[in-house]
Amino acid sequence: MQPEDSSKKRALLVINPRARSGSSSVDPAIELLSDAGFEIRETRISDGDTISDVIRRDASEIDLVIVGGGDGTLNGAAPALVETGLPLGVLPLGTANDFARTLGIPPDPVQAAEVIKAGQLHTVDLGEVNGHLFFNVASIGFSAELAAELTARAKKRWGVMGYGIVAARLLMRSRLFSAYLEHDGETEKIRTLQISVGNGRHYGGGLTVEETATADDGKLDLYSLEVDHWWRLLALLPSLRKGTHGRWDDVRAFQTTQVTIRTKWPRAVNTDGELTTYTPAEFRIRTKAIRVFIPPEPAAGLGGA
Ligand SMILES: [Mg+2]
């Protein structure tokens, strides 16, 4: 074995290919890190490989992983980060960067690279549902159905406006469903439009799980929209943005570390924007699951910094 040069910080750089082609801002970020003494090994994800496969393969030869992408790309890296214990640097390049927001990581890749360079690590929690890890939120009901209807093709064709049209159409015909919530030694039967289980603070590009939720409090924050009519959501929207919706009578909200959600028929579970599993859904918190480079300024989405 060759002696290692301990002054080198060997970083595996994994970039979402779609973000790579569209973004010129990533090159100055990489340059900044190279100048700071990081040995950057950029890897490509070939067909049939997951981001986690790539990380696992190189794990013994690297000191950290830098993920360039959004929440979807981070989710792909999560299993290998948990297994290997390698620290994570985030370069927000995706369309949804809610986890970076929770940690206070700047949206600008060069500024985000400065955070990695500064080297301050913090340990954060992950959510888990039926073995699938998530950073921000997992939902059952309306938003999961929306994700299912919103195929990549529709997104491409109609863009943001298409999202609104599909959402409005779906909302108008969406119905409440029955679910059983098993948590903290009790079982509750509820009628709901949507159940969301959050790990961090921000999700859905501007919504807040709960105003005091953090990614390091060792808790999941569950809320259930038990509204009579879908149009109640219009009134609730400002509260959903601020994370104060739990104060409304028709929103159930509580913190827990473990919850099982059962429904009469299997329902899709959306984890950070992807449909990954179905009910029955067993949720649990994975406390202190990964180490992430964070800015020195305290972030609202972190408590114990
Ligand atoms: Mg939490």
Q: Which residues contact 250 (CB under 8 A, 6 or more apart)?
A: 225, 226, 227, 228, 232
**Domain, as residue range, for 41:** 9-119
114 and 162, same domain (yes or no): no
Within 13 Å, how many C-alpha atoms sit on residue 258's CB side? 4
101 and 142, same domain (yes or no): no
292, part of any domain: no
Q: Which residues contact 152 (CB under 8 A, 6 or more apart)?
A: none
57 and 158, same domain (yes or no): no
Instruction: Give the predicted TM-score (pTM) of the model.
Output: 0.88
170 and 37, same domain (yes or no): no
Average confidence score pLDDT of the chain? 87
269, part of any domain: yes
299, part of any domain: no
Which pLDDT belongs to residue 167? 67
| Rounded distance from Cα 34 to ligand 1 centre (Å) | 34
| Rounded distance from Cα 4 to ligand 1 centre (Å) | 38
77, part of any domain: yes
Q: Write out pLDDT tens, residues 210-254.
A: 989 999 999 999 999 998 877 788 888 889 889 999 989 999 999
| Rounded distance from Cα 224 to ligand 1 centre (Å) | 16
Is the bond leading into 280 cis (omega within 30 degrees of zero)?
yes
167 and 83, same domain (yes or no): no
Indicate the helix (H) or strand (E) that contains 58. helix 51-58
| Rounded distance from Cα 284 to ligand 1 centre (Å) | 11
Q: Write out pLDDT tens, residues 66-92.
A: 999 988 889 999 999 999 999 999 999
Q: Write out pLDDT tens, residues 145-166.
A: 766 666 555 555 556 556 666 6
| Rounded distance from Cα 276 to ligand 1 centre (Å) | 20
| Rounded distance from Cα 191 to ligand 1 centre (Å) | 25
137 and 283, same domain (yes or no): yes
Q: What is the number of domains present in the chain?
A: 2
231, part of any domain: yes
| Rounded distance from Cα 57 to ligand 1 centre (Å) | 30
144 and 227, same domain (yes or no): yes
171 and 44, same domain (yes or no): no
The CATH number assigned to the domain holding 271 equals 2.60.200.40
| Rounded distance from Cα 286 to ligand 1 centre (Å) | 10
Tell me which of 119, 141, 162 is where a domain ends.
Answer: 119
| Rounded distance from Cα 253 to ligand 1 centre (Å) | 13
Q: What is the mean pLDDT of residues 156-177?
A: 66
Q: How confident is the model at residue 205 (pLDDT cuts 50, 70, 90)?
A: confident
Which pLDDT belongs to residue 229? 79
Which residue carries 């009628």 as its tokens?
191
The CATH number assigned to the domain holding 70 equals 3.40.50.10330
Higher pLDDT, 143 or 116: 116
Relative orientation angle of helices 152-173 and 142-149, to the nearest 10 degrees: 140
